[in-house]
Amino acid sequence: MNIVILGAGAIGSLFGALLSKHHNVLLLGRKPHVSAIQSNGLHIQGKTMFHEKISATDTVKDVSFDVDLLLLTVKSYDTIKAIKQAKPSISKNTIVLTFQNGLDNIEKLQSVISKNQILAGITTHGAVFKSPGVVHHTGIGRTIIGELDGTETKRLKNIVELFDEANVPIKISHNILKDIWQKAIINSSINPLTAIFQCKNGYLVENPILFHLVSCLCEESTNVAKSMGYTFTTKYLFEQTIQVINETFNNNSSMLQSVERKSQTEIDSINGKIVTFGRKNNISVLLNESVCFIIKRLYQ
Ligand SMILES: NC(=O)c1ccc[n+]([C@@H]2O[C@H](COP(=O)([O-])OP(=O)(O)OC[C@H]3O[C@@H](n4cnc5c(N)ncnc54)[C@H](OP(=O)(O)O)[C@@H]3O)[C@@H](O)[C@H]2O)c1
């Protein structure tokens, strides 16, 4: 299969490296990372150890083959720009699979490509970009993918096989849109608090005030999801959130990493979208509004 990784950063380079063992993979990323890979190969360290020559470029003009699968792994604020740039390499037969966090990526993709080309996935693998040419696989996680309408199609099964071959077990989701909401609710309850209070995930359960704020954010975000027709219970989502905090106790969330680097966060696609939907459906979103305000005021 011919695969392009659009956004060869942390998670994209990891998945690209693993898929390249059996398939033709081209990493599409930024110059320093691409140049380092072209000179010295790609180094994956940590839970996966990998050092291989792998094709990489910083321009879509180098995509000289028919792309069967495009993995979209840019941050959500880059989705529209990236997919527009890649459009010349996308044919009607190309499947575009997003592994991004946030509630607005599918909507953004649909403004540029046809809805029936889009698949969505969620992964709890952890990857951190260390330096050009080097990515750290920090945690082995779970990965699910699904058709937007929940059906179990042949192309979906083919992609599951592809990842299985690459030693990344994937499960099929029959309600990926709900799963994306679940991850967004969990992220909305953890990420901004760790970024505002500059703490590791685990501190959110150690500090009683932060623990209370996690619970309130989680309830508020869940109320918005319910107003959108997703049948969650607040208790279940809170338990899932605490489980994620415990599983990632010593991690710095991606939002904390972004603010430490003084780079843009994905807050608009997570808490920001929850605010938009909440306002539309007359659900109180005071806490989500507040964390959006603070993150933007302090760091953007
Ligand atoms: N890392 C993880 O463990 C993990 C796990 C699950 C889900 N996710 C989700 O996956 C997405 C990517 O996360 P990440 O941590 O891998 O981010 P990342 O390390 O920032 O990787 C994205 C890469 O794409 C590049 N990029 C942006 N626009 C591009 C374009 N038009 N053409 C080529 N390259 C482009 C970025 O370059 P610049 O930074 O220079 O713009 C960056 O190097 C996010 O939505 C994240 O929430 C990540």
% pLDDT > 90, the chain: 97
- Expressed in angstroms and rounded, the spacing between residue 231 Cα and the centre of ligand 1 is 30
- 297 pLDDT band (50/70/90 cuts)? confident
pTM higher than 0.95 = yes
Q: What percent of the chain has pLDDT above 70? A: 99
Ligand 1 neighbourhood includes 268 CB (under 6 angstroms): no
Check if 11 has its Cβ closer than 6 Å to any atom of ligand 1: yes
Provide the β-strand partners of residue 122.
144
Among the listed residues 132, 134, 155, 156, the one whose alpha carbon sits nearest the alpha carbon of residue 146: 156
The number of the ligand 1 atom at minimal distance from the alpha carbon of 139 is: 3
Here the tokens at position 102 are: 């946030």
Mutate to test the pocket of ligand 1, among 27, 74, 137 (most ligand atoms within 8 A of CB): 74
138 and 34 in a common domain: yes
pLDDT of residue 295: 96
29 and 6 in a common domain: yes
Q: Which residues pair with 172 in a beta bridge?
A: 145
Per-residue tokens: 275: 């605010």
- Give the number of domains in the chain: 2
Count CB-CB contacts under 10 A for residue 261. 11
Residues 241 and 94 in one domain: no
The reply to whether 42 and 182 lie within a common domain is: no
Q: How many CA atoms lie within 13 A of 245 on its CB side?
A: 27
Average pLDDT over the chain reads 97
100 CA distance to ligand 1 middle (Å):
8
Ligand 1 pocket, residue 261 CB under 6 Å: no
190 neighbors 240 (Cβ within 8 angstroms): no
- Cα of 212 from ligand 1 centre, angstroms: 31
> Catalytic residue at 183?
yes
Looking at the CA of residue 128, tell me the nearest atom of ligand 1: 1
- Alpha-carbon separation of residue 219 from 82, 180, 196, 276 (angstroms): 34, 17, 19, 16
Q: Which domain holds residue 127?
A: 2-174
Query: 155: exposed, middle or buried (C-beta count within 10 Å: 0-12, 13-18, 19+)?
Result: middle
At residue 299, does pLDDT exceed 80? no
Which residue among 73, 201, 263 is best mutated to probe the pocket of ligand 1, counting the most ligand atoms within 8 A of its Cβ? 73
Determine contact, residues 69/3, Cβ cutoff 8 Å: yes
Between β-strands 95-98 and 69-72, what pairing exists: parallel, antiparallel or unpaired? parallel
Question: If pLDDT is split at 50, 70 and 90, which confidence band does 52 have?
Answer: confident
Could you report the per-residue pLDDT of 85-115, keeping only the tens digit for each?
999 999 999 999 999 999 999 999 999 999 9
Closest-lying ligand 1 atom to the alpha carbon of residue 14: 16
In terms of domains, do 222 and 290 share one?
yes
Contact residues for 231 (Cβ-Cβ < 8 A; gap 6+):
none
Cβ neighbour number for residue 10 with a 10 Å cutoff: 21
CA 138 – CA 130 distance, rounded (Å): 11
pLDDT digit string, tens, across residues 213-249 = 999 999 999 999 999 999 999 999 999 999 999 999 9
88 residue type, one letter: P
Helix axes 176-196, 271-280, angle to 10 degrees: 120
Identify the domain boundary among 131, 146, 174: 174
Choose one of 151, 174, 197: the last residue of a domain: 174
Q: Which of 153, 174, 195 is the last residue of a domain?
A: 174
pLDDT band at 298 (very low <50, low <70, confident <90, very high): confident
Other Cβ atoms less than 10 A from the Cβ of 124: the count is: 15
Q: Are residues 61 and 194 in the same domain?
A: no
Joined together, the tokens standing for residue 171 give: 């499960």
Asked if 4 and 64 touch (Cβ cutoff 8 Å), the reply is: no
For ligand 1, say whether the CB of 20 is within 6 Å of any of its atoms: no
Q: 20 and 79: one domain? A: yes
Q: Does position 23 have pLDDT exceeding 90, yes or no?
A: yes
Domain harbouring 239, CATH code: 1.10.1040.10
Please tell me the predicted confidence (pLDDT) of residue 300: 59
Mark whether 58 and 135 lie in a shared domain.
yes
- Please check whether residues 209 and 104 belong to one and the same domain: no
**Residue 126 near ligand 1, beta carbon < 6 Å:** yes
Report the distance separating Cα 240 and Cα 154, nearest Å.
31
Cβ 101 under 6 angstroms from ligand 1:
yes
Cβ(99) to ligand 1 under 6 A?
Answer: yes
Indicate whether 23 and 67 sit together in one domain. Answer: yes
Query: How would you classify the pairing of strands 118-123 and 126-131?
Result: unpaired
**What CATH number does the domain containing 34 carry?**
3.40.50.720
Decide: 82 in ligand 1 pocket, CB within 6 A.
Answer: yes
- Say how many Å lie between the CA of residue 29 and the centre of ligand 1: 9
Q: Which of 75, 108, 183, 273 is catalytic?
A: 183
3-state secondary structure 34-75: HHHHHHHCEEEEECCCEEECCEEECCHHHCCCCCCEEEECCC
Statement to judge: residues 61 and 163 lie in one domain: yes
| C-beta 85 within 6 A of ligand 1 | yes
State the average pLDDT over residues 152-156.
98
Sign of CA dihedral 37, 42, 45, 47: positive
pLDDT at 75 over 90: yes
Q: What are the C-alpha distances in Å from 168 to residues 56, 101, 160?
A: 21, 19, 9
Give 174-197 pLDDT, tens digit per residue: 999 999 999 999 999 999 999 999
Task: Clarify whether residues 103 and 189 are in a common domain.
Answer: no
